[in-house]
Each structure stands twice: as C-alpha cells, then as structure tokens.
A and B are shown apart, each in its own frame.
Chain A
Amino acid sequence: MLVYTLKRLLLALLVAMTVSAITFSLTYLAGDPAIAMAGETASDADIEYIEKLYGFDRPIVVQYFEWALNAFQGDFGQSFYFRIPVADLLLERLPVSMTLGVSAISFAILLSIPLGVLAAMRPNSLLDRLALGISVVGQAMPSFWFALVLIVMFAVWYPVFPTTGSETWLHFVLPTIVLGYYATPAIMRLTRTGMLEVLGSDYIRTARAKGLPQHVILFKHALRNAVIPVVSLAAVQFGFMLGGSIVIESIFALHGAGYLAWESIGRNDLPVVQAVVLVFSLFYIVLTFLSDLLNAWLDPRIRVG
C-alpha cells in the first residue's frame, strides 16, 4: 500500500507539473503578452517598460519556473484588472465554488446511487425505465438551458428560490440541482451496470447459498464491490463539475471562482484565468489521487498486494 501510494503520488506530481506548464503557456497563446497588457495603442517604450516590469524579456523556461514556484507557494501574481494579488481574489471566491461543487456532487450521488441500485435489482421494471429516462434526458439537456428553465419556473412562475447571488443556502438550491443533474447519468449508469454485474456473480450466489437475508446480500456483499468503480467516477465527475461551474455560476451570478474566471476572460485578466485553471486542475489531481487511495482501501486486491 505504501509503495502504491508513493507511485501514485509521483504520478500526481508529474501531472501537476505538466498541467502548470500548459497553463503557463496560455500567456503566450495570444501573442506577445506585453502588447496585450499595454493595449493596441501603446508605444514601443511602454511595451518595453512592461516587458521589464513583468520579466517578459527573460527566457520562457525561467519565466515558467518562477511562475510555477510562486504558484505552488500560493502566489499567483497580481490581477491586471483588480490590481490586487490573485490569491486574495481566489480565497474570496473559491469557498462559493467549493460549496456548490460539494452540494452538487452530494445531490448527484444521493440521487444516482439509490436509483442505480434499485434499477439493477429490478431490470426492465418501471423504476428501471424511469432511471433510464432520467439519465437519457440528463445527458442530452444543455445545462445552461436547464438552468434558465429552472429560473423561469422557480423565480417567475413559482417564486420559491432566489435566482441570483450567493448570500444564503437558498441561493444554492437551483445551481446545485443543475450541476448535480449533469453528473447524475454517468454515476447512475455505472452503479446500475456494476450492480447488475455483481448481482450475477458467483460470490453473490454463494452468499445466497449461505442463507443470508436479502439486505445483507445487497448491502454487504454486492454494493461494496459495485461501488468501487463509482468512487473513481464520482471523483472525476466532481472535477468536471468544477469546470462546468463556470457556466452555472455565470447564469446564477454566484460569485465563485468559475464566475471570476469568466469575468476575467472577458477582461483579458490572464493571471486570474491561469490561477483558476491551475487551481481547478490541481483540485482534480488531488481528488483523483485521494479516490485512488480510497479505492485501494476498498479493494483488498490492491490494498493487500
């Protein structure tokens, strides 16, 4: 287990390095960053000044390592637009995104795992079809459109929930539903297929031959094995959700990191955009690392080599 953890950790670090390099390269994607910052009308002297000030005149590799080292210490530079450290902005906005992400993945898990299990227990039943319907619709519905539909329904027709802002928990209800529903189909399908496969396995027949009651067979013997792949998927989906939060946050005007990124993209505020991309990526890397460890712990074939 220790060797496995170390190997996995090394991989996570390598991935983080690569991701940070790609993120850094965004700076040069639009051409000369100094020109972009100074504006189209700036004089050569202005541009040279900015190049010196921000160190754009040094070799790219040096610039990258300086940026990456600072970033890993929590220093993402200054926001072009706000003129304050990007880290401060992130600290203010990240909790909103995290709250949304955690509530959305919880919503998705609470909806999809029970539904997936029930659907697997009675294949082709009414409930199974309902679950299939939910997942087919969920996969095809554009989330930004679903968000707007919910706004019309719950803010205009039946004003129950506020539709913009992030002050109270009520503000999070609609965004949670939209974002959570986005992850539901994948988790539900995997739970269902995993459960079906496990329920048809030899060791479930053994458990039945032992005369164990239905609930022990289902929850002790079947779910434990069926849930192993679901754990990884949930972690992956959580990462995707953070990425997708940019759409949802901008619609509901939730002042989270995704919203910040969207605004900053519009303002050409590159340091902020880079910081959000990097933080979301790092978050995904940490999450998948943890889920792999959890998986190893759940599955003795990995844990006890």
Chain B
Amino acid sequence: MSAVLEVTGLTVDIPVPTGDLHAVRGIDFSVNKGETLCIVGESGCGKSLTSLSIMGLLPKRAKINAAKMEFTGTDLLSLNERELAAIRGNRMAMIFQEPMTSLNPAYTIGNQLMEPYLRHKKSSDKEARERAIYLLERVGITAAASRLSQYPHQLSGGLRQRVMIAMALMCDPELIIADEPTTALDVTIQAQILHLLAELRKEFNSALILITHDLGVVARVADKVAVMYAGKIVEAGSVSEIFNQPLHPYTQGLIDCIPVPGKTARGSRLGSIPGIVPTLIGDIKGCSFRNRCGFAHDACEMKDPFHTLSPGRGYRCTLDVSTCEANAKELVSA
C-alpha cells in the first residue's frame, strides 16, 4: 500500500499580538489509498488548521513548516500557488463544515459543480454536465438534471452538503479531506451523510481524512485514528485499538464520555474531563494535558515522550505502557 499523503513534523504558527500562536506543534500522520483516517479532538486543538494547511488554504500570515509533507510523492510545501491550484479540487478535494455558506449564492449548482471539472480536465461542457448529473444521482439527489439550474438558497443544508460531496468527487480525487462535514446538520441527516461518505470512499477507492470531534463518527467510518490535543497527536492507532485499548488519559477520558447502550446504567453519571485547554501562545514545556489529567505527576511538567508501539500505533505520555494498559482495561471493563 502506498501512502497518498505522508506528513511528519507539521507545525502551524499564527502570529497574534501577544506572540506566536503555536496551533499545530509537530504532528505526524499518513493515509493510504482506500483508507479513512479520522483526526479527533476538541475545538481549538488544531485539527482544522491541519487540514487547511494540507490544502494550502491557510492565510498567508500563518507559517507552515514540516519535515515532510508529501502528496503521492510530491512535496506540497515546495509548490507555488499555481502548481498547488492544479492539484486542489483535482487530485485532492475538500468538504467543509458549513454547507449553508460554502456555496456561492450567485451561481447555480450546475455552474459550481462543473467548474473544477472544466478547469482541471479541460472537458467540454457536455461532459462536465453529464459528470455532474451522474454524481448528483450518486450522492442521492433526485431529479439531478433539473437541480443543476437551481441556486444554493433553494436547497436544504443536507442537500447542499451532498452537493459539496459531489463537487469534491468531480475530478475523482486521490485524497478527500472532510472537515466536520456533519456538524452543522440535523442528527438524522448526519447519519445519512456519513454513510454516504463511507460508501463513496469505498467506491472511488480514494483516501479520506475525516476531521471530527465526535467519537461516534469515528467508530462508524474510521480505519485509523489520530487523537489531537493542544496541537499535538496524543494517541494514534487503528480504530479497534483506540476503542478497545485507549492508552492516553485524554483518549480514555473521551471514551468515558460516550454512553454505551445496554452498558451504561440508566441514571449513572457519564465521564467528563475537568479543566480547560491551555493557551497555545508561547511555548509549552512538558505535557499540555497535565492540568486536566488524573494521573499527572512531576515528570509531566518536564516532558511528554511519544511511545511508538508498532508502525501507526503509539501514544504520548510519561506513563509506561503497562500502566496505561491497566488503566484502559479498567475503563473498558467498567
């Protein structure tokens, strides 16, 4: 299996009046063809910035650095805006969180759907139209042909997100990045859209990076999971490893928050993680989770080592593996 995207040591710094905001502080991940990677974390942990930096969509003042950021062997950071534009929307596409505002109100659905195809594939209008109709049908929109002449404001949020998905698929991209694609939608629609994404990912055999704060989403679609906290990946692993044996106290805390039907007793208290995220302006020495962690001890103020257990499996903590595993066991069996 070849990596579609391979990132090591990615940092994103944003200058703010009081110093540099180190929003992403050195993260590694990779995603292969036919694979779904979920990046999980609470808001402000840097997951959205990560996705925007891959696409090259961050504002100019944000400083992006990485030891390696390769898309199918091409170093993304060495590309200029034109070369990047040739990849964007073509071989790498993105679906955003806000379907209500992500479509241009002044142009028809058809116009906006056909735009990347006409641009990147140099196709005729007719071909682009056929492709657009095909994909609209594929994402489950009825009367696809007549939808092309409709304007965004005539569609509901769920339909608009389907259009955004169709738009991302227009050029048959090798990588799709979906940034909280279901957050703004009704719960019933959320499930449909997720199902659709997973299904299409399989059908088009592309790589999918799904950014979410919702572990329920992760459980449903992920192959691999990276848990982010305060700009760093605190735990990575396969979906079964993360859910069955969460090693990092933060991941354990997250999983403790999910009610499990039949297991969580009625009226019992769900877990919660006390405290708040530290400010990311300036440097943080040691573990950034220590102020919310029940296992914190003095060593946490000095370091936060990453333990790689096997390729793609690891966690960032001062505790050793056996302690973490013991904690995980207690949590999962509880």
Contacts and interface: CB of A to CB of B under 8 A. Distances in A.
Chain A complexes with chain B: yes
Interface of A: 201-203, 205-214, 216, 220-221, 224-225, 298-301, 304
Interface of B: 55, 57, 81-82, 84-90, 93-94, 96, 98, 101-108, 115-116, 119-120, 150-151, 153-154, 164, 167
Contact of A206 (B86, B102, B154): B102
Contact of A300 (B87, B151, B164): B151
A298 B106 contact: yes
Contact of A301 (B84, B90, B108, B151): B151
A29 to B, nearest CB: 47
Contacts of A205: 57, 96, 102
A300 B108 CA distance: 9
Nearest to B101: A202
Given A206-B96, A209-B89, A299 B106 contact: yes
Nearest to B93: A209
A304 B116 contact: no
B220 to A, nearest CB: 25
A210 B151 CA distance: 18
Given A210-B119, A212-B119, A225 B103 contact: no
A213 B94 CA distance: 17
Given A206-B167, A299-B105, A301-B105, 17 more contacts: A202-B96, A202-B98, A203-B102, A206-B102, A206-B104, A206-B164, A209-B55, A209-B96, A211-B84, A211-B88, A211-B89, A212-B115, A213-B85, A213-B119, A225-B105, A300-B153, A301-B153
A202 B102 contact: yes
Nearest to A228: B106
Contacts of A207: 104, 115
B94 to A, nearest CB: 4
Contacts of A213: 82, 85, 119
Contact of A224 (B86, B94, B106, B116): B106
B81 to A, nearest CB: 8
A203 B112 CA distance: 10
Given A205-B96, A210-B167, A225 B88 contact: no
Which A-B residue pairs are the 6 nearest by beta carbons?
A: A210-B89, A211-B88, A211-B89, A202-B101, A300-B151, A203-B104
Contacts of A208: 57, 85, 88
Contact of B116 (A210, A299, A301): A210
B106 A225 contact: yes
Nearest to B87: A211
Contacts of B87: 211
Nearest to A207: B104
B153 A225 contact: no
A96 B153 CA distance: 44
B155 to A, nearest CB: 12
Contacts of B84: 211
A210 B102 contact: no
A212 B107 CA distance: 15
30 contacts: A202-B96, A202-B98, A203-B102, A203-B103, A203-B104, A205-B57, A205-B102, A206-B102, A206-B104, A206-B164, A206-B167, A208-B88, A209-B89, A210-B88, A210-B89, A211-B86, A211-B87, A211-B90, A212-B89, A212-B119, A214-B81, A220-B107, A221-B104, A221-B107, A224-B107, A225-B105, A225-B106, A299-B106, A301-B153, A304-B151
